[in-house]
Chains A and B, each alone.
Chain A
Amino acid sequence: MTAALAASLSSQGHSFLSPTGVEIVFVLVGLAVLGAAVLTVSTSQLVHAALWLVVALGGLAIEYLLLTAEFIAWVQVLIYLGSVVVLVLFGLMLTRAPIGRSPDADSGNRWVALGLAVVAAGTLVTLVVDAFRCTWMDLPASGSTSVNGSTQANGEVLFRYWVLPFEALSVLLLAALVGAIVLSRRHREEG
């Protein structure tokens, strides 16, 4: 039965046993991303956690590139690596995070959290692998003109079909900006 399954799969040109180069690169970068993410949530040096977050988010940008979503990849680099990590580093500095090791970086309920995360990971991975066992994506060829993640395709779709959410999101960003300014004002009248 497995031979028949493998034959039927290889007849479509897909097989687990012969991964393509894109898949190998994806898995390797994915391992790097996971390792950086685990170090982000487990290191006891707070500034190093922010720098490992840079590695994880940059690796995710590479994954987007491998999935042919190049516009998303550059937006990820610009916004996450460019602004969010800088904001986090500013937050760490303004809250006077210790530079060296801080032994109390982890809460007391970390073992409960670890158990919960392992249970959730087991459930999700089992479910996902079982659901998408025989599902393959057809990535467009690199030379084709209509790559579905290009800036042109994204821009056309975004300003033709998604204009209203886009504008609502700009209002939300303005509200967040005003809210952040109001929250971080130093002097208030009533003290």
Chain B
Amino acid sequence: MHLAYPAVLAALLFCVGLYGVLARRNAVLMLMSVELMLNAVNLNLVAFDVWLRDTLHAGQALTLFTITIAAAEIGLGLAIVLMVFRTQGTADIDRLRELSEPPADGLPPGPTGAEAGPDDSDTASPASPASPASLTGSAQGKAGAV
């Protein structure tokens, strides 16, 4: 068999997983995309093991290890997602921004402000200059209350 077939399939699968990780909003769907990326790596390992005819079977042994680590990863990831869902009430990654840096007062908006700008306008809040300040105030008030 030509080696390019499994290699190209693995590369395309990895990029599909990359798109999923970056574009999905639900945390569980993001974990599914991570599984796709791990599977692409597994396919590469198996194909190169068959090609090189390694006497130690390093590719297939490492594939077994990767599958095990992926199982552990999805278990821990789902536990974290469930805990976040219980405490925050949502599993949307775009709304979990309590740890984001507040824009500095008195300074012109730097790169962090430019980074946070489109996302704030994305979450259906009016893109007025006062909204980041009010969000920061509410976040600080919440943190003080806790």
Cα separation A144 to B36 with both chains bound (whole Å): 32
Enumerate chain B residues within 8 angstroms of A38, measured Cβ to Cβ: 16
Interface residues on chain A, size class? 35 or more
Known A-B contacts A41-B23, A94-B85, A133-B4; the reply to A88 vs B78 at CB < 8 A is yes
In this complex, what residue of B is CB-closest to A29? B9
Q: Is the interface of A mostly helix, strand, loop or mixed?
A: helix
Interface string of B64-75 (1 = CB under 8 A from A): 110111111111
Instruction: Say yes or no: A64-B3 contact (C-beta < 8 A), given A90-B78, A113-B19, A113-B23.
Output: no
CB <8 Å contact, A53 and B83: no
Q: Give, as a whole number of angstroms, the nearest-CB distance from B66 to chain A.
A: 10
Q: Which residues from B are CB-within-8-Å of A63?
A: 6, 9, 43
Instruction: List, in ascending order, chain B residues with CB within 8 A of A104's CB.
Output: 25, 92
Q: Which of B51-59, B106-114, B128-136 contacts A (4 or more CB under 8 A)?
A: B51-59
Known A67-B50, A107-B94: A72·B82 in contact at CB below 8 Å? no
CA distance A135 to B92 in the complex (A): 45
Please report whether the interface of chain B is mostly helix, strand, loop or mixed according to DSSP: helix
Q: A108-B118, A137-B1 are in contact. Are A79 and B67 (CB under 8 A)?
A: yes
Query: Bound state CA distance, A28 and B119, in angstroms?
Result: 40
Closest residue of chain A to B36 (Cβ to Cβ) is: A37
A108 touches B60 (CB 8 A): no
Q: A69-B49, A107-B25 are in contact. Are A16 and B15 (CB under 8 A)?
A: no
Would you call B122 an interface residue if the criterion is a C-beta within 8 Å of the partner chain's C-beta atoms? yes
Report chain B residues within 8 Å CB of A117. 15-16, 18-19, 22
A109 at interface by CB-CB < 8 Å: yes
Asked if B96 is at the interface of the complex by the 8 Å CB criterion, the answer is: no
One of B9, B11, B60, B118 near A69 (C-beta < 8 A): B60
| Residues on B with beta carbons closer than 8 Å to the beta carbon of A41 | 16-17, 19-20, 23-24, 29, 32-33, 36
- Cα A31 to Cα B135 in complex, Å, equals 46
A181 to chain B, nearest CB (A): 8
Separation of A124 and B16 alpha carbons in the complex (Å):
12
On whether the beta carbons of A88 and B4 are closer than 8 Å, the reply is no
A-B contact pairs, 13 of them (CB 8 A): A41-B23, A60-B43, A64-B46, A69-B46, A80-B39, A95-B81, A108-B118, A113-B19, A118-B15, A136-B1, A136-B2, A179-B76, A180-B75
Extra A-B contacts (7), CB below 8 Å, given A75-B67, A84-B35: A37-B13, A60-B43, A113-B23, A137-B50, A169-B69, A172-B72, A183-B79
Interface pairs A-B: 3 shortest CB-CB: A41-B20, A113-B22, A176-B72
